Amino acid sequence: MKQLRQQTFDEQAQTAFRILLERFWVLRLKEPETYQLIREREKVLKRYFVEKFGFDLIVHQHFIKLEKIPVETKSWMGIQDFQETRDYVIFCCALAFTESKEVEEQFLLSNICEEIKDLYPDDIPLDWTNYHHRRSLVRVIKFMEKLSIIETVEGETDQFALDEDEEVLYETTIYARYFMRTYPKDIFEYDSIEDILNSEWERHEADERRKRVYRKLIISPVVYRENEDDPDFSYIRNYRNRLREDLAEHTSFRLELFKNNAQLVSEERKQDLTLFPDQKSMMDIAIHFASYIREHIEEFQPDEFDQIRMTSVKLEQTVKTVKDIYGNGWSKQYRESTVRTVAQELVDLLIDWEMMTIDDETDTYIILPLLGRLSGNYPKDFRTKEKKRYEKQ
């Protein structure tokens, strides 16, 4: 019976599939049950990831990691703990430092500070007497601890932000040497991010289109029709029935296909998935914003690709109207915030979820079709009272 379960893509395999998509890696020492769950279904998972996505599933005696390479990079794919470009540069320098250490080798904060400063690009000054630079290092160290690349032995990293002379003792782990993925050739032979992404398809030439489509659908919130002859979107349209059947069998997602966009949706909220909406208060505002636009669609005049253009003035006016109608039900933070503040946070959220983009040339906001899939309201009595109050003003 156990052998049969390993050969089929059962419900536990679907759970393992979701976990691997969401996590950077699963560490055996910290999550033995999850590690074992994936390990028992290694064959069916590997086969599916390779055939459909071209992803490599790495099963190590200490960890399991799915190497998820996107078709194209998006802003939301960055490390959410980081705030500045400087954070990423320091992180790369810190990785170079830890990779040179032996497993369980200990080092001081002052050691890694000195090494990072030596490795840091000469054309970008780094000064540990600068509070913001120290904060960057604190963010990097804490992220490395979150991934278990290093562990704190003694001291508090946060204190370094307040005092440049603060000392902390760390220890490298077995995972320090496995964070970076391997590349088909020496990384110095690549000239850009595009070169790295394009090299990925050199080993998937025979079935590149299918794997591009699967990667887009599973990694991104939505796949848009970019033009009349978009080959990836045409593939989704032509093979939609096969895609629906396959995704329904192997995942907890359902494929939705429209004229200008396609996306995967979940019928039920899974704890191991990042889904829209979540519990953040701004999600409510985004849904109210979407509902208002749906109800007044003639006013906004979408184009042939179901996109709506807005100036910053129009955006703030719309947010103000939405706040007037729904605002009494918002969290205190947004009830008391200015319209401009709410609008900016809304823009940031919608851009992250690929529901909006900005045209830098015309300095206008472009609302994308996925936002049109959202709608949500308060109970009828609340909505009626607020609407009457708004109309009287």
> Which CATH architecture is the domain 2-67 placed in?
Orthogonal Bundle (1.10)
DSSP characters over 220-239: SS-EE--STT-HHHHHHHHT
Contact 264, 255 (CB under 8 A): yes
Best CA proximity match to 324, nearest among 288, 376, 280: 288
pLDDT for 2 equals 44
CB-CB contact of 305 with 393 (8 Å):
no
Mean pLDDT of 370-374: 89
Amino acid at 318: T
Any idea what the Cα angle at residue 362 is, between residues 359 and 368, rounded to 5°?
35
Instruction: Tell me: pLDDT of 317 over 90.
Output: yes
Residue with tokens 């691997």: 20
Of the ranges 102-106, 221-225, 266-270, 357-361, which one carries the lowest mean pLDDT score?
266-270
| Residue-wise DSSP of 47-98 | HHIIIII--EEEE-SSEEEEE---SS--GGGS-TT--SHHHHHHHHHHHHHH
Examine the pLDDT at 356 and tell me if it is beyond 90.
yes
Tell whether omega for the bond before 277 is within 30 degrees of 0, i.e. cis. Answer: yes
At residue 389, the pLDDT reads 56
**What does the pLDDT average to over 135-144?**
96
59-96 residue pLDDT tens: 999 999 999 999 998 888 889 899 999 999 999 999 99
pLDDT score, position 349? 93
b/e per residue 355-379 (b: at least 16 CB within 10 A): bbbeeeeeeebbbbbbbbbbeeebe
In this prediction, residue 385 carries a pLDDT of 58
Question: Which residues have C-beta within 8 Å of that of residue 204, sequence separation ≥ 6?
Answer: 54, 211
- Looking at residue 386, its pLDDT comes to 54
pLDDT for 203 equals 79
In whole angstroms, give the CA distance from residue 103 to residue 46: 29
